[in-house]
Amino acid sequence: MAVLKLLAMPAVALVLAKLLGLPPLAAGVIVLLAAMPTGANAYIFAVQYQRLVNPMSGAVALRTLLAAVTLPVVAG
C-alpha cells in the first residue's frame, strides 16, 4: 500500500492536472504534494485510541523512508 500511495497517487495527480489544463508549475506542485508521505496524524490517532500503535508507527516510518526514494523519481 505504501508503494502504491507513493507512486500511483502522483501519477493520478499528473493525469488530472493535465486533463484540467493546469499550468506546468501548478501541476508540478500538485504532483509533488501527492508524492509526499502520509503524515503522523494516523499515528497520533492510534496512540490516542490505543489501537494498533506499533503497526502504525512502523507504517509511518516505512512510508517516510520510501518517500526518500520515490520523491526524486517523481520530481525528476
Q: What is the pLDDT along the chain (76 residues), one digit of tens a residue?
A: 777 888 899 999 999 999 999 999 999 999 999 998 877 888 899 999 999 999 999 999 998 899 888 889 888 7
Confidence (pTM):
0.74
Q: Determine the straight-line distance between the first and last CA of the chain, rounded to whole angstroms.
A: 23
Measure the CA–CA gap between 48 and 65, rounded to whole angstroms: 24
Is residue 76 helix, strand or coil?
A: coil
